[in-house]
Chain A
């Protein structure tokens, strides 16, 4: 069986004036079955650059990308036919109607008009765009623009769909709807490769790759990632007063637990909430601090990212 995507030791260096910036640092991975993969990382982690390289948009400084067995940068025109790319900025022409944008996309892939008509009809139905098909794209809501953008990337029925931060600008309801839709796409035998900086979105995927400062720091399914990184532990979030003492509190807690600051809260990872909460609170109070509220929850990918990198997602 031919692997969908093989990324081998990809690096990308940008020259900005006299400085060299390593945007992607020696990343390798393989995708050998239809799955929904999230590339999670804060802004500037190198996600978009990595996706641009895989989508045969931006050449790597070193390393190779294979798409369905083809060396993508040696056979770009063939490789591109396997890929559908959804840019972060929609990539639609706002002065064309929905249907004209779809026909335009068909032209990009040289799809004959007779086939294009059938494909567009199916996509309009799939994306529930029938009501809006004759509207100018500029008149669509953010959610429908995104649907149109994805539909345009699917006109040539690609096996690999690459989406760069597709939920940008969408409200939470639309985000959930989009993620559900993407999961549905896998059932059609596609690989979905999506970048995001929102951990909650990555939770829905089959596989999460965490990127930090150009490096791939983790690559696994969300549950295993949490288990491997944090274990079967509980996260306790505590609101304290005065907030000015938060660093002192974290310093004290860190002697025994993994403790960190999350905005104005203290976050502690404990093995057992029941057994350890009393000790945690005693230690906090010993710093002459009042405990206002205590919450316990299961670990998330946010916590994984923090544990792996020492930074909050969106902190950098």
Chain B
């Protein structure tokens, strides 16, 4: 009881400390605002795509076409081959695709700048480097003729690759319409071929089977793609919810660790440590009071951050009547205690308040940014860090909290994580108890 009353005074004093208020409440709010309005601004900005087509194609020459048609079989050729301007087809396909995908397309066709593939590629590379062009497509000299007589057309595509993500976005935006064009053309050609089969032959064969086997000949595999974004970036409310929980993680780790690391040195500077030790309160009670006041302060800070998160549109569903949601609160408290435990292990080596703050801030910052507690998400961490974050209890704890209050997962889903986290906490608790049990007075006397 006494520890709680003392904790209330400590809590009151902490609330009046401007530095602490900034770092534990102000700073995470700034981060959340930055997340909401800078990192993931509301409303989606359409993708812009700038394509330049270097057109070497001379179009279809009717004499050349007739020569080939006569050579193949006049009636078949006249039935199947229709003169087509490849570049025009290509432009139409790209424009239609971009329109359907709400992509701002800037398309330009240039001619007579090069006379063979090699010089065109060099020219394309040059203009990608010099101008604001994302993709260059080089259309070969005889593209229309090849396309007309069903010969393959070899397109050369150059992509601007300033960043890996940029390269993939441009690749997808260009390849998809070309694949669509390729499929549509093939299907049209198969239909034409099948329809050309004379009626007397059609009586003896199954035309549908032939048609489908020809489809299969051209496309042994048909792919159906659906983009599924990682859960952390599935939508804006989810992302904001994810970041809000990250901010709670930041508060739990930073406030607990800094408070525990400085438990003795902060009070030594003001003489409070000597006053405390001179009084009849037991040192264990003093540490308990400190933990309670730290948890109270973190609780208040977290409530404020959740309110800010909700105001920004975060998806956070907290129902005090739901036992799983109460479990989330307990899990946060355990994560905070774990961080406090790490702080207590480090406390004996710290000799000044500045050192305590420095070590506390540095270690907590490293932990929250490398274990998926705040940012980046675990999915974006390198393998060793991802492995570490999967066994680091506070990281697991905030995963569990996200699972519960952002993604509404079930107890079965979180149970294995809960087990790992509890095990990690027990190991640390044991280490702290081994270090402090019976040695507390000796540790504290080093600070006098």
Contacts and interface: CB of A to CB of B under 8 A. Distances in A.
A108 B282 CA distance: 10
Contacts of B276: 108
A89 B270 contact: yes
Contacts of A87: 271-272, 274-275, 278
A107 B9 contact: yes
B445 interface: yes
A61 B441 CA distance: 14
B6 A93 contact: no
Kindly state the interface size class of chain A when it binds its partner: 35 or more
B116 interface: no
A10 B272 CA distance: 25
Contact of B279 (A90, A92, A108): A108
Contacts of B2: 107, 110
Nearest to B442: A59
A90 B270 contact: yes
B445 A81 contact: no
B278 A95 contact: no
A129 B29 CA distance: 40
A85 B270 contact: no
A46 B404 CA distance: 59
Interface string A73-108: 000110011010101111111111000100111011
A108 B270 contact: no
Given A87-B274, A91-B275, A110 B9 contact: no
B271 A89 contact: yes
B385 interface: no
Interface stretch (B13-21, B72-80, B189-197): B13-21
Interface stretch (A37-45, A49-57, A243-251): A49-57
A109 interface: yes
Contact of A57 (B6, B270, B272, B448): B448
B5 interface: yes
B259 to A, nearest CB: 14
Interface string B228-271: 00000000000000000000000000000000000000000111
A93 B15 CA distance: 13
B258 to A, nearest CB: 16
B441 A94 contact: no
Given A80-B278, A80-B279, A95-B17, A107 B5 contact: yes
Nearest to B14: A95
B278 A110 contact: no
B12 interface: yes
A92 B280 contact: no
A80 B9 contact: no
Interface in A63-77: 76-77
A96 B13 contact: yes
Contact of A80 (B10, B17, B280): B280
A52 B9 contact: no
A198 interface: no
A136 interface: yes
A57 B278 contact: yes
A103 to B, nearest CB: 7
B448 A110 contact: no
A36 to B, nearest CB: 20
Contact of B6 (A58, A76, A90, A104): A104
B270 A56 contact: no
Contacts of A103: 9
B393 to A, nearest CB: 32
A304 B270 CA distance: 34
B277 interface: yes
Nearest to B286: A108
Interface string A256-287: 00000000000000000000000000000000
B28 to A, nearest CB: 21
Contacts of A235: none
A93 B9 CA distance: 9
B281 interface: yes
Contacts of B275: 85, 87, 91, 105, 108, 152-153
A96 B9 contact: yes
Interface string A181-199: 0000000000000000000
Closest 4 A-B residue pairs measured CB to CB?
A89-B271, A87-B271, A91-B271, A85-B278
7 contacts: A59-B445, A85-B275, A90-B270, A92-B270, A95-B16, A105-B279, A108-B276
Interface of A: 52, 55-59, 76-77, 80-81, 83, 85, 87-96, 100, 103-105, 107-110, 136, 149, 152-153, 162, 164
Given A81-B280, A87-B271, 8 more contacts: A56-B278, A58-B445, A76-B280, A85-B279, A87-B278, A89-B271, A96-B12, A108-B276
